[in-house]
Amino acid sequence: PAAVRNYLARLGWSHGDEEIFSTEQMVEWFSLEALNKGAARFDFVKLENINGHYIREADPTYLYNVMIDTAEEVGRDEDAKGLMANHNTVLAALPELQPRAKTVLELIDLAQFIYALRPITPDAAAAALLTPEAKVVLAGIAETLGGLADWSVPAIDGAMRELAEAKGLKLGKLAQPLRAALTGRTVSPGIFEVMVLIGREESMARLSDQIA
């Protein structure tokens, strides 16, 4: 609501070069002299950009509740259930997800990796990354991760860098199929952060599903 209010106010009125302002600032700065003289043009791209700003700045707990309400309102009951069943994990993930979304529905889509049921069904872009060659790479990743004692972002990052160097590959050549296997998408938070969020057991199980 705040983003729409901000956009609609800016549509017919301006205050210098300011694009983002609070309701209090609108009330303080508004003047009839500053009303735009030309016809307003509704720009959905600009509205999405403003909405993205408010999503980035929102309190995660507030945003979590908005996500559930939105999922229920548009009939995405499975998403609403998944969000509610994974309260702590979703809250922990939101600071990583917020910069990547411009709408609440995009945010819900990005959070799906947390509660997706196995086996993960990759979207078309992710499936294209899971080639036979990539599955060989994933098998090597699974073997490396299986012996990892410390399941933390620095430990996983270090292990993957060592593996990439040993295989003569850039880190991205490991991270891309790994992201596709674990999330079913080509866009997500940092993949090592994803692995910590969903945990060792779930990460290894999702890897095994895609290697098989």
Instruction: Identify whether residues 45 and 26 lie together within a single domain.
Output: yes
Q: What is the pLDDT of residue 138?
A: 97
Count of beta carbons in the 10 Å neighbourhood of residue 180: 25
- Higher-confidence residue of 212 and 39: namely 212
pLDDT tops 80 at residue 61: yes
Say whether the peptide bond before residue 60 is cis (omega within 30 degrees of 0): no
Q: What is the pLDDT of residue 3?
A: 80
Domain finish residue from 115, 133, 163: 115
Instruction: Identify whether residues 48 and 63 lie together within a single domain.
Output: no
pLDDT tops 80 at residue 5: no
**CATH number of the domain encompassing residue 141:** 1.10.10.350
For residue 93, give every residue at least 6 positions away whose Cβ sits within 8 Å of its Cβ, in sequence order, or none.
111, 114, 189, 193, 197
Instruction: Identify whether residues 41 and 102 lie together within a single domain.
Output: no
**pLDDT per position as a tens digit, 99-128:** 999 999 999 999 999 999 999 999 999 999
Q: What is the share, in percent, of the chain residues with pLDDT greater than 90?
A: 74
Instruction: Identify whether residues 98 and 41 lie together within a single domain.
Output: no
Instruction: Identify whether residues 77 and 44 lie together within a single domain.
Output: no
Region 86-98: mean pLDDT is 96
Q: What is the pLDDT of residue 20?
A: 74
Please give the model's pTM, rounded to 2 decimal places.
Answer: 0.80
Instruction: Identify whether residues 15 and 49 lie together within a single domain.
Output: yes
C-alpha neighbours within 13 Å on the C-beta side of residue 146: 9
**CATH number of the domain encompassing residue 49:** 1.10.1160.10
Question: Diameter of the chain by CA atoms?
Answer: 69
Instruction: Identify whether residues 41 and 93 lie together within a single domain.
Output: no
Q: What is the pLDDT of residue 68?
A: 98
CA distance 191 to 154: 12
102 residue type, one letter: K
- The total of structural domains in the chain comes to 3
Q: What is the pLDDT of residue 39?
A: 66
Instruction: Identify whether residues 131 and 207 lie together within a single domain.
Output: yes
Q: What is the pLDDT of residue 69?
A: 98
Instruction: Identify whether residues 98 and 28 lie together within a single domain.
Output: no
**pLDDT per position as a tens digit, 14-50:** 656 677 777 777 777 677 665 666 666 777 888 888 8
Instruction: Identify whether residues 175 and 202 lie together within a single domain.
Output: yes
CA distance 91 to 87: 6
Determine the structural domain holding residue 207 and report its residue range.
124-211
Region 147-158: mean pLDDT is 96
**pLDDT band at residue 7 using 50, 70 and 90 as cut-offs:** confident
Instruction: Identify whether residues 47 and 64 lie together within a single domain.
Output: no
Range of lowest pLDDT (29-33, 110-114, 159-163, 185-189): 29-33
Rama region for 45: left / alpha / beta (φ>0; ψ in -120 to 50; rest): alpha
